[in-house]
Structure 1
Amino acid sequence: MPGKNIHVVPAHDGWAVESEAGGPRQLFDSQEQAIAAGTEKARHDQAELLIHGRDGQIRERNSFGHDPRNIQG
């Protein structure tokens, strides 16, 4: 389902990729691996990728789908 956000979040023993659309949580040893997998999934799903830091706060966002803030100019 297009438009559901993908999150890269800290996990117990590494990093995880989670989708708001559901599905299995993917686990990775490094944040770099999780970001690469999350980016691919966000591109495929035309979704927004939200990358969280170790503290759980969003530190970066990347949109790979329809951007609702379509500003002409």
Structure 2
Amino acid sequence: MADYSVTKKNDGDWQAKRDGASKASSVHSTQADAARAAKGYSANNGGGEVRISGTSGKIRAKDTVKPGNDPRHIKG
């Protein structure tokens, strides 16, 4: 499983970064593009959790990518 985070960089771009990696997997001009990429990377690596941070740096959404292990067991 592969967990990813989507965060805003100092230059205003958004990055999709695998947890524990030293460099971003990809950099995007929008948060939506970075989130879509992170979900794709996670799915290609056996699923996992994607955490999406807002402009303040606080996590605003978490998505479990199949076949990851969703701890809440509810759809949505």
| TM-score bracket for the superposition, by shorter chain length | 0.7 to 0.9
Pairwise CA distance, 1:24: 3.6
The alpha-carbon distance between structure 1 residues 56 and 67, as it changes in their structure 2 partners (threshold 3 A), is same
The alignment's C-alpha RMSD in Å is 1.9
Aligned residue identity for 1:16: Q
Unmatched 5+ residue regions in structure 2?
none
Pairwise CA distance, 1:39: 1.3
Report which of the two structures shows the higher radius of gyration computed on alpha carbons: 1
TM-score w.r.t. length of structure 1: 0.78
TM-score w.r.t. length of structure 2: 0.75
Unmatched 5+ residue regions in structure 1?
none
Residue 22 of structure 1 corresponds to: 21
Residue 70 of structure 2 corresponds to: 67
| Equivalences, count | 69
